[in-house]
Amino acid sequence: MKVLFLPNWEVMRCNEAPKDKQPPDYYEKGKEYWFFRYFEKKPEVDIIDVSSAKWIQNIEKNKIRFYVIQALKAIPRLNKYDLIISHGMQSGVVISLWRRLFRTKSKHIVFDIGAFNSAAESGAALKLMQFASRSIDGFIYHTSSQIRYYEKFFPWIVDKAQFIRFGTDAEYFSEEKSELIETNASREEDKGLDGVPYCICVGYSKRDWDTVIKAFELSNPANLKLLLVGHVEERYKDIANVEQMGFVSISELKKLIIGARFGILPLKSYNYSYGQMTLLQQMAMGKCVIASRVPSLVDYYEEGVTAISYEPENAEELADTIKRVNSNGLMRNEIGKKAAEYVKNISNECTMAKEIEFFFGKNVRKSL
């Protein structure tokens, strides 16, 4: 099977695996890309990413909210492939509109990460997505509650949509592998930042930083810092025991996760997929994570067993949870251990890939 993969991010092409990128972000020459390496029947995969002039990317991503240049590169090549995969409707809407007007040999599958247009329930964008979606041959989604949105606004896709849990690379983000890579990465909590233990909050966008800051101040944990990684705001810079870092490499991020006492993942409640990668990476590395109880995460942990949750935007409940987790090392370690086992055995790339391959076999190969 020949596959054209259209990710809604940039992919670096290289001759050997870089140390500071994870598999979705690079394509190593002569090797299978990302989750395709776990397929029993290896497809031939080509990639067209969103690379273009930065000003064009900014307009596509932030203004019109879908990628035109990527689609224009792909459209002349569609009939060379058995399957087109768009990772996100940002990379799928133009292709699906084209296929509504012109027949193609290739089938089209979309990984619907954002519930079409952030689960919009009205407006021109919804009507556009409803029109475009009728040409798509299959949908994979990572947040189970999206099915209710489909039933209400896209009933014609329900029979060709499948919930498949997102999975992270359990080996790449294992605690043992990380310590082998970086022998100086220590699990000793008393080393921390400047000798002070810390908890970590990771995210470059769509994090509820105001709630986590307020909760940390309310909890007032003794001898503990809050480390915000990936996001820096001027208004947070003078808050006691709060430290901010901008973008860090994936290798540096792993070291910071290893050194943290526990993680906090503060999200607001939306009915589409986000935050799952951050959660699973920290779980895979044996960390107890305090996560907001939102649709995108509830499929990925067992309450009090593999993670601990709180009501989104509830700073008081989060503060109480921070106190409880910070004061109970035995509980943290037990939850972290079970979290790592969960990722290793259930929500990992290999399991995800097997389910995706089965879905392709059921929805694509039978029609080729």
Segment 34-81, tens digit of pLDDT? 999 999 999 999 999 999 999 999 999 989 999 999 999 999 999 999
Task: Give the residue carrying structure tokens 């031939």.
Answer: 44
Residue 236: partners with Cβ closer than 8 Å, 6 or more residues away:
209, 213, 228, 242, 244
Q: Specify the pLDDT at position 174.
A: 85
Count of residues making up the chain: 368
Distance CA 19, CA 37 (A): 19
Mean pLDDT of the region 80-104: 95
Banded pLDDT at 176 (limits 50, 70, 90):
low
Segment 141-165, tens digit of pLDDT? 999 999 999 999 999 999 999 999 9
CB neighbours of residue 345 within 10 Å: 10
Q: Mean pLDDT score of the chain, rounded to an integer?
A: 92
pLDDT at 135 over 60: yes
Q: Specify the pLDDT at position 365.
A: 60
- Strands of 308-310's sheet, edge to edge? 242-245, 225-229, 198-202, 263-265, 289-292, 308-310
Residue 264: partners with Cβ closer than 8 Å, 6 or more residues away:
199, 200, 201, 212, 226, 289, 290, 291, 318, 322
Asked whether 117 and 90 are in contact (CB, 8 A), the reply is no
Of the CATH numbers 3.40.228.10, 3.40.50.2000, 3.40.50.300, 3.30.110.40, which one belongs to the domain with range 2-167+349-367?
3.40.50.2000
Dihedral angle at the C-alpha atoms of 206, 210, 211, 214, nearest 10 degrees? 160
Banded pLDDT at 194 (limits 50, 70, 90):
confident
pTM listed for this prediction: 0.92
Measured in degrees and rounded to the nearest 5, phi and psi for residue 168 equal: -100, 165
pLDDT at 188 over 60: no
Architecture of domain 175-345: 3-Layer(aba) Sandwich (3.40)
Q: Locate CATH 3.40.50.2000 in the chain.
A: 2-167+349-367, 175-345
